[in-house]
Amino acid sequence: MHQEWSLRGVWQCLPDKENILENGIENKIVYAPEIHPWKEIVVPSHWQKAGFEQHQGAMWYRRTFLAPNKQENLGYHLHFGGVDYFSEVWLNGMYLGAHEGDFDPFAFSVTGFLRFGKENELIVKVVSAIDKKPERKEIAKGGLYHWDCLPVRQEGLSDCPEVPSAASAHYPNPLLNPGGIWQDVTLVAKPVVHIERLRITPHLRDEYTKANIYVDIEVRNETGEEQDIELRVKIAPHNFPKEGREDIAQVSATFLRPGSLNHTTRLTIQNPALWWSWDLGHPHLYTATVEVKMDGTIIDSSSEVFGIREITRDEKWQFRLNGERIFIKGNNYLSDQFLSLMTASQYEQDIQMMLDAYMNMTRLFAHAEKPEFYRLCDEKGIMIFQDLPFQWGYRSDGEFITRAADVARRYVEMLYNHPSVVLWCCHSESRLHDYNKLDNVLMETVKSIDVTRPIHKNSVLIDRGELPAFFATWEEFAKYVPNHLSVNWVGWYWGKITDAEFYNPMFITEYGTQSLPDEESLKKFIVEEKLWPLDMEAWRMRGFQNNIYTKMMGEYPTTLGELVERTQEYQVQFYKEHTEALRRKKYNNVNGIMQFHFVNTWPAIDWAIVDYYRRPKKAYYAVVHAFAPLQLSFAGHVERLENALRITMEAWVVNDYRRELEGHEISYRLLASDGTVIEERAVLAPLITPDSSRCFDQAVLDLPLTEEVYRIEGDLRDKEGNIIARNTKILFPRINEAEVETAAHVNAGL
């Protein structure tokens, strides 16, 4: 019913760095474009990946195309899948309108402006410039523009991730702002009465045995006259067999005045097949199809895939999916700074690596991915912690806040039907000047659209190194932070890896350390003469935090291979110690952990556990082991007494499965540094309850004052004697809690 003509291919373009080619009513670039020296560019693409790598500012695009012959009862629309960032459009010299935002599709009605059966000229102006005040930004692009995992300029950092002052050289100042027509452009012919949008809201009732499905239908009438229509809504299984289920359908008659009509219908499904994350069940999906009839003839139809599920989050960040509590094991993800480069197959690769690492949630860091990513998460059963595109500081005036609210509204509407999206986070690492102004408006905007998902105001509130106003003393803040801090950089920006046992946060949105990619990957983006001996300026331009490295790992080794090994092993140790410690506290205040971050978004040296070329680092496999659904885990420490060493050991089992396990046994041993077995223990685990974390054995040994380096190793065996889990643990000296360095000690705000 819809006909499409793609306009992708070779266009013409003209860089306009200073944004001066447009000149009011004498806009020659539109009305006399042939006088300009146009160049070729491929659409869709970001211009930096299409031959204009260094360009920032305005870029003009031009394309001529042959329009089809006009057909009766059809309206013609120019559709843009995505333009980054500000855009204005002219067709045959007529101004169609403007759009802000890099993430969402938009369209213009062009029936009155097309030259049917003839050549037409399309001109698009795109503006994507470097923001002059990164702490008071004027564009809502979030992590795709301003993030310390992107190309930034900053000097060495002393303690904290950044100093929030645009005047400070320590602050990450963006070096690159992607720009261009990065998604398809199409000419679309639609019936003059057609469906504009479907919004589907499932509501579960009666202990999940019944679901009301509310289908909001926006219908557009371009005939200029009132029309009587019939709407038929049908719901059918999408990715599972019907198994005797009948399609649910409803027909309603209504009328359309000229313009748009919003019509809501309600259908009820008995015993619905629910959408689950992969670790709880099958991600059942349905298809809702809406047909528009006039005079008994179907004139238009539209379909949306959706899932039926209920997601809740309480004040302690305990998530429940369809009433089942779930411990979150996830990551932070941004696939590529230039999303035009991503393909469905690349998304499939990334998502499969997440599944292989037992992750049930991904946080899309202050941006939206391509539609293919959301479709795959819907189908694979991965939950999405969805940030809005706001990262760090923004202009705090009414004009920008009004624009930001419009961006937030379109953002939520675009992703509303995806069951995988389970939470909205309005702002990432908000600044104080935004917290009670911009963030309040974003929060209320999202609430007005979506009442079905939890909404979080911001991931972290960073202050200027001063005590946040809602704490009376730094001591009070220091007590609060270990329990509630939502970023856990213990062992990187503050503290030590061995402090892991002292942290008991409700939910961690970020934790990790930097490490180098392997030598093969490094050689792809750092030239040999700067790679080794290490050229600090070149390395820092790729994100390397040299001062944090020396603070945590000491002097540099003599070879590049040793440096790669050292940083990757440090990252492995970090994820092992922190992840296992936090999982032992499962539901004991800790309800979720999101490693930071999953994959490099450009060829860089940063916190990713998979490099830009999709080569897993050692830490990826450490996370795989630490996130395993059944884990044997050890805790303990060494304490020096007056005449002895006191060794404390604990053996734990963490079970994420929804089934109990019977007849298991833990065998573990304490070893000295030379491998000598000091103590062997075996303990029964007769019943491992579902979705649990439990200590099955504790032991305290007093040993002579000989050495202080000990480790534990052990196995978990099933009732047939098969090893189903194994692990090791280095025992560190006991730490005095009063000496543990927290975020408060380095003045990192919450």
Domains of the chain (ranges plus CATH)? 3-130+176-187 (2.60.120.260), 192-306 (2.60.40.10), 325-626 (3.20.20.80), 630-739 (2.60.40.10)
- Residue 694 has a pLDDT of 97
Tens of pLDDT, residue by residue over 54-63, are 999 999 999 9
Task: Give the torsion sign (CA, 440, 441, 446, 452).
Answer: positive
- Residue 431 has a pLDDT of 81
C-alpha distances (whole Å) from 511 to each of 84, 289, 382, 564 are: 30, 43, 20, 20
Three-class DSSP category at 252? strand
∠ CA 253-254-258, rounded to 5°: 145
Burial 381-390, CB ≥16 within 10 A → b, else e: bbbbbbbbbb
C-alpha distances (whole Å) from 135 to each of 217, 391, 431 are: 40, 10, 9
- Residue 273 has a pLDDT of 96
Q: What is the dihedral of CA 514, 520, 521, 527, to 10 degrees?
A: 100
Q: How many CB atoms lie within 10 A of CB 472?
A: 9
* Cα–Cα dist 743/747, whole Å: 6
CA 144 to chain centre: 11
∠ CA 370-372-374, rounded to 5°: 85
- Residue 316 has a pLDDT of 87
Query: CB of 505 within 8 A of CB of 590?
Result: yes
Tens of pLDDT, residue by residue over 296-333, are 999 999 999 999 999 999 988 999 999 999 999 999 99
Extract the tokens encoding 270.
């008995």
| Residue ranges for the chain with pLDDT beneath 70 | 154-171, 461-472, 474, 476-485, 743-750
pTM to 2 decimal places:
0.94
Amino acid identity for residue 9 in this structure: G
What's the Rg (C-alpha) of the chain? 29
* Cα–Cα dist 705/642, whole Å: 9
Amino acid identity for residue 601 in this structure: T
Query: CB of 748 within 8 A of CB of 462?
Result: yes
Extract the tokens encoding 581.
């410690």
Residue holding tokens 């040296």?
Answer: 605
Query: CB of 134 within 8 A of CB of 173?
Result: yes
Residues in a beta bridge with 667: 682, 715
* Cα–Cα dist 604/284, whole Å: 38
